[in-house]
Amino acid sequence: MLRLQAFKFEVMPTGEQQRQMRRFAGSCRFVFNKALAWQKERYEQGESRLGYAGLCKRLTEWRHDPETAWLADAPVHPLQQALKDLERAYANFFAQRADFPRFKKKGRRDSFRYPDPKQIKLNQENSRLFLPKLGWLRYRNSRNVSGMVKNVTVSQCCGKWFVSIQTERKMAQPIPKGGAVGIDMGVSRFATLSDGTFYAPLNSFKQHEKRLRKAQRAMSRKQKFSNNWKKAKARVQRIHSRIGHARRDYLHKISTTISQNHAMVCIEDLPVRNLSRSAAGTTEVPGRNVRAKSDLNKSILDQGWFEFRRQLDYKLAWNGGWLVAVPPQNTSRTCPCCGHVSADNRQSQARFECVECGFEENADVVGAINVSRAGHARFACEVSGVVRPPAAGTRRGESARVG
C-alpha cells in the first residue's frame, strides 16, 4: 500500500529569507484574488469559467505585464499552485462540499507550495532544506522524514514559519490488532468506549477563555492598525494558537491509542453544525435559553469531534482497520438488554435505567454499546453487499474501504 504522510517542522530563516517568504506568500495571494475577480467578471458578462490551463495563460500575461512584473520575482510553481487551489475551491463549491470561493486576506493562512520534488533538496543530517529562490533553510529536526518527498508547503502562523513535507512510501499491508469497539462522543466525557473506558475532555478553550477575553478587550481599546494594536493582535493570535495546538495534541494521543488497539471503530455520524447552531432566533420569534445553549455550543466546538473523526479515519487506514459511521438516533435511549426505546430510559445526563427491564448502566457506556452493535450490523451488510450506500457524511476510508 502507498502511504502519504506529512512531516511539519518549524524553520529558522534569515532576515532576507523571511522577507522573501512574505513576498512569495503575498504574490500567491494576489494571483488567487486576481484570478477569482477575473472569473467573477467573466460570469457577470455571461462568459464561461476558465479552467486551470486557461488561468495559467493569464498568469504568464500577468508576469510580463509592466504593472505586475514583480510577480516574476516569485517562483512560478507556487503561483500556479494558487490557481490550482482556486480550481479546487470551485470544484468543491459545485459539488456542494464548500461555500463559494472567497478572497484571501493578508495575514490569514499565508502559505505557498512547491509541487516539484526535483527542485527540493532535503538534508536531514544537517537539518537543512533547499527551496527554489530561497536557498537552504534550517529547520528544527524533531523526527526523521520517511519516504520520497512529493511536495513542500511553507506557511506562517503567529509570526513563525513552518514547512510541511509530504512524502510517499510503499508499505506492506498491515494486519489490524485488537477487536471492534464503539465510541460515544460527549461533553462531560469526551469519548466513552463500549468496553467501559472513557477519556475526560481537555476543554482547551475553556482553560484559556479568561486570558483570551482579557487580551481581546485590550486589543479593542487600541487604535486600529497602530503598532500597539499589532502587538495586541499578535498576543491574541498566540493564545488562539496555543488553544489549537493543545487540542490537536490531545486528539492525536487518543486517536493513536484507539487506532493501534482496535481493528474496527464504530462512531456516531454527528451533525456538529446542527448541534452547535445558535438558539438566538429572530426578532419576531426569539429563542429560549439562549445563554445556556451558547455555553453548550462552545463546549461542543471545544471538543474537536470532527478533527477526532478525521484522525481516526487515516490512522485506522494506516493500521489496516476500518472506521464505520452510524446514525446517532436513539443510541442513548435504547436499552442494550431488551431493546426497549424510550426517552424515559435516560434518567439523567449520566444515568441510564430501562423502564421496561430495569437495566442500569452509565448512559455514555450504553450509547457506546449501541453504536458498536449498529456498526457491526452495518459492516456485515456492506460486506455481504446488501446495503451499499454509506451513511450520510461518511468520508473516504470509512465504509468505502469495506468490501
Residues 148 and 84 in one domain: yes
- Average pLDDT of the segment spanning 140-165: 96
pLDDT digits (tens, 9 = 90+) for 159-193: 899 999 999 999 998 999 899 999 999 999 999 99
Query: If pLDDT is split at 50, 70 and 90, which confidence band does 358 have?
Result: confident
Residues 185 and 329 in one domain: yes
Residues 239 and 325 in one domain: yes
Q: Answer with the residue of higher pLDDT: 233 or 386.
A: 233
In a domain? residue 16: yes
pTM here is 0.87
Residues 135 and 237 in one domain: no
In a domain? residue 297: yes
pLDDT digits (tens, 9 = 90+) for 5-59: 999 999 999 999 999 999 999 999 999 999 999 999 999 999 999 999 999 999 9
Percent of the chain with pLDDT over 90: 79
Burial profile 104-120: b = 16 or more Cβ within 10 angstroms, e = fewer: beeeeebbbbbbebeeb
- Average pLDDT of the segment spanning 366-387: 83
Say if residue 392's pLDDT is above 90. Answer: no
Residues 205 and 127 in one domain: no
Residues 100 and 215 in one domain: no
Residues 28 and 157 in one domain: yes
Query: What residues contact residue 356 under an 8 Å CB cut-off, 6+ apart?
Result: 335, 338, 340, 342
List active site positions: 184, 268, 364
d(CA 343, CA 160): 51
Say if residue 387's pLDDT is above 70. Answer: no
Residues 150 and 183 in one domain: no
Percent of the chain with pLDDT over 70: 95
pLDDT at position 388, please? 41
Query: If pLDDT is split at 50, 70 and 90, which confidence band does 385 have?
Result: low
Instruction: Calculate the average pLDDT of the chain.
Output: 91
- Average pLDDT of the segment spanning 139-155: 96
In a domain? residue 331: yes
pLDDT digits (tens, 9 = 90+) for 109-130: 999 999 999 999 999 999 999 9
Say if residue 324's pLDDT is above 50. Answer: yes
Burial profile 293-312: b = 16 or more Cβ within 10 angstroms, e = fewer: beeeeebbebbbbeebbbbb
Lowest-confidence pick of 245-249, 266-270, 313-317, 393-397: 393-397
pLDDT at position 380, please? 85
In a domain? residue 397: no
In a domain? residue 260: yes
Domain range for 151:
1-168
- Average pLDDT of the segment spanning 281-294: 80
Query: Final residue of a domain: which of 117, 141, 168?
Result: 168
Residues 218 and 157 in one domain: no
pLDDT digits (tens, 9 = 90+) for 193-203: 999 999 999 99
- Average pLDDT of the segment spanning 343-359: 88
Residues 257 and 163 in one domain: no
Q: Answer with the residue of higher pLDDT: 383 or 191.
A: 191
Burial profile 336-353: b = 16 or more Cβ within 10 angstroms, e = fewer: beeeeeeeebbeeeeebb
In a domain? residue 395: no
Contact 258, 213 (CB under 8 A): no
Domains in the chain: how many in total?
2
In a domain? residue 7: yes
pLDDT at position 1, please? 87
Contact 9, 154 (CB under 8 A): no
Say if residue 333's pLDDT is above 60. Answer: yes
In a domain? residue 396: no
Residues 69 and 151 in one domain: yes
397: left (phi over 0), alpha (psi -120 to 50) or beta: left
Residues 85 and 201 in one domain: no
